[in-house]
Amino acid sequence: MDNIRRKTVKAILAEGQEGAGQLVDVKGWVRTRRGNKHVQFVALNDGSTINNLQIVFDLSKFTEDELKPITTGSSIHVQGELVASQGAGQSVEVQARELEVYGTAPGDYPLQKKGHTLEFLREKAHLRPRTNTFGAVLRIRHALAYAIHKFFNDKGFYYFHTPLITASDAEGAGAQFQVTTLPLEELPRTEDGKVDYSEDFFGKLACLTVSGQLEGELGATALGLIYTFGPTFRAENSNTPRHLSEFWMIEPEMAFYEIADNMDLAEEFIKYCINYALEHCADDIQFLNDHFDKELISRLKFVVENDFVRLPYTEGIEILEKSGKKFEFPVFWGVDLASEHERYLVEEHFKKPVILTDYPKEIKAFYMKLNDDGKTVRAMDVLFPKIGEIIGGSQREENYDKLKGRIEELGLSGMDWYLDTRKYGTVPHSGFGLGFERLVLFVTGMQNIRDVIPFPRYPKNCEY
């Protein structure tokens, strides 16, 4: 092999015919090999792009034996001349001069044929990143993560790290995974027979976080504008295509923002992310559009080009009641909307994303700001076509007495640290949580949230 600097497939294809004539060095995995006795064509992919680079092996230069190890899934290193391609489907190809085989892939390589079902690939999740589909999803996932950091950084937000292990149990008990080093077979007990957590690692009951919001508020009431972006864990037994047990959440929290500012930010933010993906992941989105969801691109464009509807919950209930539709779950004022209700408003009634506001206080978290009607809180859920809820947020209750009253009403304990934000220099503030995988789901057009994270965790599944 000559001493030539390696190029990625993406870089070579981007240069196109302008790069013709040069000697190139490429490395990657073989997607397919076809041809005849005179010439063999290999489609090479290195993960840098959805597109393959065609490598041409002339059998006057290579023997059949030399090419034998080149099967689907094998990994190779090639040097050759980049030439304009005569075939349809690519503008350039590599005329191979040198070949090195890194690794063969025996015939039991599971990703032989094209068009495996997503269910089959879920069983082979350790190899599925090598498929076109998951390559596309994972590159889009990366681009969205980058866009999120860029959006907030450019707006003067600080990335604030909230703990993953926490002793605060605020979002409502039951959905948390416990973290313990106690011997589960022989738990230490207190005199009244309860588990003695003073002997546990942290000296008290600790869990994985379900949300960084409460700690995020500590950041926002000091730094002004913060966001979190980290893993979140929920032990709810939700076997739905929109729930994971481990998912990533983005939670901006803003001092001096009222609910309308919060809605403006959420709308601008989500449009920015979608636009970023449309601009930077065009090939991958086009691939998913062609293979899975013919309306994907038009749906993405539609969302970024239209204003979101802003609608109070009470009016939403009226629309649902008047719709004449037979829903599986009943509709009445006070009900926690089911996904079918949310999707009716978005997909059938308004045909636009909807920000639903001012929910009954009973179905929302304790920290949301109470409206003057005494019945509703300044919540805002952003509802999307095909997804339902993608963002949940609110203006926070900044009044010390009202918040303390609500905490006592609900019997929550250990919240003094949180109340201190209202005791000392309290300010109006707001924030929201975006489930990262729900955004990736929307932008990729995938149907199941388990297909937009490399290693999904859900009830009875913890592979790898």
Is residue 43 within the footprint of ligand ATP (CB under 6 A)?
Answer: no
Closest distance to ligand ATP from the beta carbon of 391 (Å): 5
- CA separation for the pair 423, 421 (Å, rounded): 6
The answer to whether 100 and 66 are in contact (CB under 8 A) is no
Contact call for residue 453 and ligand ATP (CB under 6 A): no
The three-point CA angle 35-91-105 to 5° equals 40
Nearest approach, Cβ of 251 to ligand ATP (angstroms)?
A: 8
55 versus 434: smaller Cβ distance to ligand ATP? 434
**Does residue 390 touch ligand ATP according to CB under 6 A?**
yes
Q: Is 81 helix (H, G, I), strand (E, B) or coil?
A: strand
Site membership for ligand ATP, residue 383 (CB under 6 A): no
Binding mask 409-438 for ligand ATP (x = CB under 6 A): ------------------------xxx-xx
E strand or H helix at 373: none
**CB of 392 vs ligand ATP, minimal distance in Å:** 3
Going by C-beta distance under 8 Å and a sequence separation of 6 or more, which residues neighbour residue 282? none
Query: Pick from 24, 43, 121, 249: which binds ligand ATP (CB under 6 A)?
Result: 249
Please, what is the minimum distance in Å from the beta carbon of residue 434 to ligand ATP? 6
3-state secondary structure of 276: helix
Residues facing 379 on adjacent strands? 394
Which is nearer to ligand ATP, 11 or 175 (by Cβ)? 175
Vertex 330 angle, CA 327 and 331, to 5°:
95
The reply to whether 244 sits near ligand ATP by the rule CB under 6 A is: yes
Contact call for residue 219 and ligand ATP (CB under 6 A): no
Residue in 330, 438, 337 with CA at minimum distance from that of residue 391: 438
DSSP 280-345: H-HHHHHHHHHHT-TTHHHHHHHHHHSPPEEEEHHHHHHHHHHT----SS---TT----HHHHHII
- State the nearest-atom distance from the C-beta of 237 to ligand ATP, in Å: 10
CB 193, min distance to ligand ATP, A: 33
Q: Would you count residue 12 as binding ligand ATP (CB under 6 A)?
A: no
Residue 366 in contact with ligand ATP, rule: CB under 6 A: no
Within 8 A by CB and 6+ apart from 364, the residues are: 377, 379, 394
Count of chain residues binding ligand ATP (CB under 6 A)? 15
Write down the least CB distance from residue 432 to ligand ATP, Å. 8
Contact residues: ligand ATP, CB under 6 A: 234, 238, 243-244, 247, 249, 389-392, 433-435, 437-438
